[in-house]
Chains A and B, each alone.
Chain A
């Protein structure tokens, strides 16, 4: 699954599912609430409960499990090493399970490692769902109309996002061109140098493209005044408020579970 497909919101998501139809700002608020709640503590129960609750909400998001797996592979792949590193090198407590030089695995550090892994997954999941079910244009409309972020920045960022596909194709052409010029078979350092040169070329071409795009946007009246109408209205309805409450509730529930289990430990003391 290429970066372009990820951003375009590929056809495997059901956009009419309840949570998918929610206003992007509501989905953003849910991601925010969950990540704040989980960043405040590192414990297995909170992270685990949060993850379970998120997975339980999945059917309402219109995202089939298989496409979820495809989209979050990097989250999955990375969650494990983070946990493993903590298990090996983290603060030790409880019975020792393994000791090999600096690597000391104890009950305490294994628990901490599991907590970190679950936490990574629990924080990463809402972001993946957010991306999969939200159209970038709708997100930009919501940010500008509801959160009143400066419209010039929001729309310019949106226009730049559209260029992602174009830039991906440019990158392919740049790679082919380098092969055609005889570059790219040098071994480690040679490849790195070629890659850096390629990033440079991409930057130059992108900046050129950006200045032309800016001219085109200004020619259509962009950026002259802040008085602007919106062709697509973004509205925050009662349903969206419900979604936000649901997200806050999820975070609260996970925290409560952690408190009840006695494992919750505020990182601020």
Chain B
């Protein structure tokens, strides 16, 4: 049973994980190298929690207890008592390896080290540690606060015990999970890249336009959203990044080649909902 969780990186992913863990009754140490980022993240997190009190989801006392379980940290050594530490820093192999090396040195011998990486090899990350059996990936699909699904990534050396521990922990957080082996794109990104890439190819070949494809996928495929709506929602830059990483990690397998339309969209600043324009116009979105 996880009593103390350490989270490294107070961005959207890190603070989201800290939030759901604190709500689940776990003491959370949220670390960021930048004290300003950390302070702002905690403020945002408290605002999110407070809105739930205003909506009557929780009581004021739930809110106060949850906030008391969140501990801002600016020194890695302050995560030493954590049962599990989840890193959610920038997707850079060297930075993450350095971080895991330091975490292993600063935490107790039984601490599990988890990475939220969506694209880097867990086996490669674990190679920076002396105990790769304690290292695994926890790939949250979407926001940890709203999303309900996690890919637990087993590296070459990850032990069955470590995986079981992570499964129980995620279960406690109310997240469904599956175990995947360490492979480029894991499952969801790999298959979504095919789905999105093929949709882009169909547009590129002038077989149908993006609005037609979305309509077909929704009515003939029973999807709630079409692929172009989904790409706009996720961020076209993120889709391109996932595709480029997958392509490179599979040693340029043509099945995973990014479509040039994605690159053109990113180059022209059409990044989807967040930029106000993507495959669709989102100028009035959120107004």
Please determine whether chains A and B interact with each other in the same assembly.
no
